[in-house]
Structure 1
Amino acid sequence: MEGMQAKIQRSKLSSGDTLSRYSAVFVFLACVGVASWKQTASAPLSPGTTDWPATSVQLPNLNQSRESPGPVTSSWRTTRRRFIRFTLNNDEYEDYEEEEATPPPTRRGPLPRCDYNPCSHMQVPCEELQRAQPCLCPGISGEDIPPEQPRIRRVTGTSDSEASVHWCEPSSVVSGYRLVFWPEGASENVTTQLIPSRQRLFTLAGLEAATTYVVCVLAFNPAGASQLTKRDLDGADPGAGPCLVFATGSTRRLILYIGVTICLLVLLSVLCVLLRCLCAKHRDPPTPSSVALGLRNPIYEHDKGTSQS
């Protein structure tokens, strides 16, 4: 009886040892599984490390885009990001991908020149063109420096009393323009009102007919106005300086020329007619044989007339 109880006691101890061993192994395996799950969740995915299909993820290389020059790109890139959701209780996971639109990397490179013409009438300022699209504006001096000299291109549309002046903007900040003109050789000049900075064309009115004028353009900004030299006032550089010499037309003089020409034509016509008449009279003079010689017989002339009647 005692031997049987000892056997039962030993069997209980062996079963308890076995159960404790199995429990220790189970706890160890659970710890290893949790550690491996944490490592897998925190480490980046790469082909060959998991049993599910690997997906390559392309991310923009920002360092390379900063260093390599090139034109500015405007296309958007779609980036796929992979997400894995685990469920510990049921030992399941869910693998899905999500598309995300990312802005294109900005590449720094040579910018194009702005579509800006300093001689174009009503030209939009280059700063506004830059805000609409990145581009390069021509270099100009600041508003704390007086502007450089504008350049008169030409004078068109001249008539008896008007003329249109075209000019180009200088490489400076300009708030407005003024035109100064006077008859050549006169001591007094006329100055126009302030012209907006976008204008490159202005029509002078009230001019005298058939008169030679000198016109100059001045640019203004908060620092002052452009300067004129003696060479500019003489118009030594037509089309390349701020001054130009032009002359107005004369319709009255043209009408006078036409009237004088018509009168001369009429006078010449009358003279030709008179000369033709004089020449016709003296063309066939009488010959001596056709002139009757001696005295006429009155009786013969009377009898000749009676017989004819």
Structure 2
Amino acid sequence: MASLCRNMAVFLFFVSPLMHSHLFALASTSSPPITRKRITFLTGLGSETDDTDYEDFSSPPEVVPSVKIPRLYSDFICQYDPCLENQEPCDHLKAKTGCLCPGRSGGDKPPHAPRIQALLPITEGENAGKIEVQWCAPQSVVSSYKVIVEGSDNAMQFGDAFRRGFVGSLEVGTKVCVEAVNNAGHSSPSDFSCKRFERPESSDHKLMAGVIGGGVAFILLLVIVAVVLCRRQMCQKARRESVIGLGNPSYKAERAS
């Protein structure tokens, strides 16, 4: 009897691990799946909605930038021409439309030099005999302009909205400069802020030059036509002589002798 009990104990010792693993596998297959927690939202007067998963990360939230950087286009440049006078200042245009003004130096610094466009003699009207000085404004704060004529002690002064002024008659080669002025000082002369007066060609000289040029061109055309006609006549004469020679054997013999 003791041996039988001992044999049963040994049998249970080897069989119990197998039964334990079989029961564990059966429990794992029969247990319900694990579900994710949900958040319940209360809307209205207590109605419940549970459509949102707590751990649903399939669609990340959209990130909206808090600061938008504007893009700059050429259309935002203010329509301001520094060579036209009596214009509305660019700062006023910027305040009205939000356009962009070109960078310029402030009133605490001497202005840059303006640029002379032309020195034009006036032949008609009340300013006949004078010289009109035209210039363009610099990219600086300007309170006034000065027109300085070489050899003259008196400088003519004009307001900041002006872009032209009249000076007396000038001799050919006289140097004229335009200076910009503000509270910090005045601009320095430069190659583009100064110009020497050159008398323009008169209409009579232009007409004479045109007549001479047209006459020379006409003579050249006649020479070319005469040469072409002469060569054509020579070719036709040579052709006729060759035809006559072929039809008259005596003519050919005479030419051979």
TM-score normalised per structure 1: 0.40
TM-score by length of structure 2 reads 0.48
**Higher-Rg member (1/2):** 1
